[in-house]
């Protein structure tokens, strides 16, 4: 196995020359990686994948040019939306049923692009910066392996722990002073923004500062007002909001802003590490919340209870495969097939009222639904049919009894 797990492993790979592809966010960890590698003669290309949380290319270039590193920025927002977000909506992808999964969705896309670029450029290594307290370690490593990359890959921070202060100070001594000690660590994309560490370390006493949030800040003009939002699905894909047809990227952005303006879409909960320990995470995902909820209502409208129960059990299996870094494995692919088949009947519109801090369901309108729209009329019709059937069965029984011949018992 060609795993990079420490700075010594990275030094070994770097000393052999070749071409290293690094996953680069512009943050402290990925910037410090350049400092580790820069003294070796290998070529370095930094890959930044735009998943919708904003990429400042000029800031990235400032850092990569300082170290003499080539930079590639790939816009993968549409790929992420179609290959990760839509399947997540269909699968009701919530971690332990508590909050929408996020990095579990983005890491396979990042890995897929990294493997493609590494092959195109002839890179002999793909290096990322996840550490042991981040589940992204096994998600990135797992995806890169499943995609068949035959070079070295992994993170030097898995076995080599370096404090944030040390990284900041060492970078400052060589003229990189853009980074400072942050209160939290963050990760985001167009679907979800998540925060951990720092002031969020202790689940027994934490406070998610308002400055962390972007989408779910209450609009002061809406504090005492209400609004409505309607989500329309076609074969499991959200296609319209408030009767306006939108592509998936525009739709998610629109819903994040409209729903988030009422202070809706914040989540907090514990995530489980590979060795069983727990860490607190805070998330912001207004669109994810209401899109998955709307999907479930339509699903309940068109499928019987047994179908939904079986799908619910498969959903958590789907989530488990995603968070364990087995996105490209056979079990998840098999579950995907069932969920995709089920999605074909998810057509209709769900409407919610929006008010400060909450949403209220007010309408489900599905194509070919199983729900009743007039319960009294259904009761009358059901009673009539049942009564007629009972009379028929009673008469049939009497005729059968009358026509029976007496038995002859031989002595």
| pLDDT of residue 396 exceeding 70 | no
- 229-248 average pLDDT score: 98
CA–CA gap between residue 236 and residue 230 (Å, rounded): 15
pLDDT for 134-172, tens place per residue? 889 999 999 999 999 999 999 999 999 998 889 999 999
Q: Which of the four pLDDT bands, split at 50, 70 and 90, describes residue 406?
A: very low
224: how many CB neighbours lie within 10 A of its CB?
8
| pLDDT of residue 411 exceeding 60 | no
Topology match between the domains 3-181 and 188-303+345-366? no
| pLDDT of residue 181 exceeding 70 | no
| Dihedral, CA of residue 206, residue 211, residue 214 and residue 215, to nearest 10 | 50
- Residue 199 or 250, more confident: 250
Q: Which of the four pLDDT bands, split at 50, 70 and 90, describes residue 410?
A: very low
Alpha helices (H) along 43-135? 57-67, 77-80, 86-90, 103-121
Q: Is 159 helix (H, G, I), strand (E, B) or coil?
A: coil
Q: Which of 122, 118, 121, 158 is nearest to 137 (CA)?
A: 158
CA–CA gap between residue 184 and residue 201 (Å, rounded): 9
- Amino acid 398: pLDDT: 56
Q: Which of 1-15, 85-99, 217-231, 378-392 has the highest mean pLDDT?
A: 85-99
| The Cα angle at residue 300 between residues 298 and 304, in degrees rounded to 5 | 135
Q: What CATH number is given for 188-303+345-366 in this structure?
A: 3.90.1260.10
| pLDDT of residue 30 exceeding 60 | yes
Assess contact for 196 and 282: CB atoms under 8 A: yes
CA–CA gap between residue 292 and residue 203 (Å, rounded): 27
Q: Which of 26-30, 108-112, 209-213, 220-224 has the highest mean pLDDT?
A: 108-112
Six-digit token string for 173:
């001594």
- Amino acid 391: pLDDT: 62
**Which of left, alpha, beta for 92 (phi over 0: left; psi -120 to 50: alpha)?**
left
- 404-410 average pLDDT score: 44
CA–CA gap between residue 253 and residue 201 (Å, rounded): 30
- 302-323 average pLDDT score: 96
- Amino acid 16: pLDDT: 83
| The Cα angle at residue 322 between residues 319 and 324, in degrees rounded to 5 | 105
pLDDT for 277-302, tens place per residue? 998 999 999 999 999 999 999 999 99
Mean of the per-residue pLDDT values for the chain?
A: 91
Architecture per CATH, domain 3-181, reads as: 3-Layer(aba) Sandwich (3.40)
Domain ranges of the chain: 3-181, 188-303+345-366
Percent of the chain with pLDDT over 70: 93
When mean pLDDT is compared across 107-116, 146-155, 266-275, 387-396, the lowest value belongs to 387-396
Q: Which of the four pLDDT bands, split at 50, 70 and 90, describes residue 24?
A: very high
- Amino acid 409: pLDDT: 36
Between β-strands 70-75 and 94-95, what pairing exists: parallel, antiparallel or unpaired?
Answer: unpaired
Percent of the chain with pLDDT over 90: 75
Q: Which of the four pLDDT bands, split at 50, 70 and 90, describes residue 214?
A: very high
| Tokens 């019709």 sit on residue | 381
Q: Each residue of 135-157: b (16+ CB within 10 Å) or e?
A: bbbbbbbbbbbbbebebbbbbbb
Q: Is 76 helix (H, G, I), strand (E, B) or coil?
A: coil
Q: Which of the four pLDDT bands, split at 50, 70 and 90, describes residue 401?
A: low
CA–CA gap between residue 174 and residue 176 (Å, rounded): 6
């Amino acid at each position: 196995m060609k795993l990079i797990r420490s700075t010594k492993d990275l030094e070994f790979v770097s000393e052999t020359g070749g071409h290293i592809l690094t996953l680069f966010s512009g943050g402290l960890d990925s910037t410090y990686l350049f400092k580790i590698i820069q003294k070796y003669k290998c070529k370095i290309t930094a890959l930044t994948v735009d998943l919708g949380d904003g990429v400042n290319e000029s800031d990235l270039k400032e850092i990569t040019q300082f170290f003499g590193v080539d930079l590639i920025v790939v816009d993968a927002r549409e790929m992420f939306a179609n290959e990760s977000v839509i399947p997540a909506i269909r699968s009701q992808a919530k971690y332990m049923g508590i909050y929408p999964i996020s990095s579990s969705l983005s890491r396979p896309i990042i890995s897929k692009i990294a493997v493609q670029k590494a092959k195109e450029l002839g890179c002999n290594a793909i290096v990322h910066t996840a550490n042991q307290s981040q589940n992204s370690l096994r998600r990135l490593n797992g995806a890169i392996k499943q995609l068949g990359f035959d070079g070295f890959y992994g993170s030097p921070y898995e076995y080599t722990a370096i404090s944030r202060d040390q990284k900041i100070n060492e970078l400052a001594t060589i003229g990189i002073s853009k980074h400072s000690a942050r209160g939290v660590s963050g990760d985001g994309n167009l679907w979800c923004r998540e925060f951990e560490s720092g002031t969020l370390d202790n689940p027994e006493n934490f406070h998610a500062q308002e400055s962390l949030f972007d989408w779910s800040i209450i609009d002061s003009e809406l504090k005492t007002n209400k609004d409505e939002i309607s989500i329309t699905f076609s074969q499991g894909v959200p296609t319209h909001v408030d009767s306006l047809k939108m592509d998936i990227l525009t739709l998610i952005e629109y819903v994040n802003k409209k729903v988030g303006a009422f202070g809706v879409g914040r989540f907090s909960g514990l995530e489980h590490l590979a060795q069983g320990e727990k860490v607190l995470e805070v998330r912001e995902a207004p669109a994810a919340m209401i899109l998955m909820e709307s999907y479930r209502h339509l699903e309940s409208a068109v499928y019987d209870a047994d179908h939904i129960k079986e799908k619910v059990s498969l959903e958590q299996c789907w989530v488990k495969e995603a968070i364990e870094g087995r996105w490209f494995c056979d079990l998840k692919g098999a579950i995907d097939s069932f969920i995709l088949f089920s999605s074909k009947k998810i057509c209709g519109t769900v409407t919610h009222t929006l008010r400060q801090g909450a949403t209220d369901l007010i309408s489900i309108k599905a194509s070919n639904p199983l729900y009743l729209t007039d319960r009294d009329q259904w009761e009358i019709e059901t009673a009539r049919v049942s009564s007629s059937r009972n009379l028929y069965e009673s008469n049939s029984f009497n005729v059968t009894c009358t026509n029976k011949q007496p038995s002859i018992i031989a002595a």
